Amino acid sequence: MRFENIEIHSSDLPDFKSVDLESIQKRYKKQIWLNELAVFILLFAIPIVSLFFDAFPKWIPLTALIILSIVFILRSIEIEKGFPLKKFGVRQHDMIYQSGFFHFTETVVPYNRIQHVEIKQGPLSRLFSLYSLRLYTAGASSGDLIIDGLEKSTAQKLKAKVLDKTTVVDGTN
């Protein structure tokens, strides 16, 4: 058998932008905000409390508060502007996920590379009745693709679709 690697022109490549991507549940944004606020309240408390002690010069906690404020503003922009960009799509041979405002990412995972799929729900997600779909491929321990903020029925349908496609690709169906 002779190896071939024929050149393909970029104009001949399929356009994955033609897929209608679905948005994440709107209440997931509330979950993100709740999580962020909990973290920042704790982070802001440390320099505020240290202002009342003479162990540190006053400029250290003030500088920390300014830096935390800047980070909080940037995170707020990321959440507000980036949330509408959190979308996923299902195609015949792969799944697409996009997210991010400052650091925009589009991930395409072919079904034939998926080794494991799971649905998860953490304590905060349980509060909002939301789930995460995690797709694992070879060599990844934390999941190659994680789609957060899904309804249970959507997560289950996506999992079933992925499992159906992976068994067809593997030839076990």
pTM beyond cutoff 0.75: yes
Structural domain for 99, as ranges: 87-170
Q: Quick check: is 12 in a domain?
A: no
Between residues 1 and 141, the one the model is more confident about: 1
Domains contained in the chain, number? 2
pLDDT digits (tens, 9 = 90+) for 53-104: 888 899 999 999 999 999 999 999 999 999 999 999 998 888 999 999 999 9
Domain boundary among 35, 50, 82: 82
Q: Quick check: is 39 in a domain?
A: yes
Is residue 108 located within the same domain as residue 38?
no
Give me the residue label for tokens 């408390």.
Answer: 45
pLDDT of residue 48: 93
Is residue 78 located within the same domain as residue 149?
no
Tell me the CATH number at 124: 2.30.29
* 141, 125 contact by CB (below 8 A): no
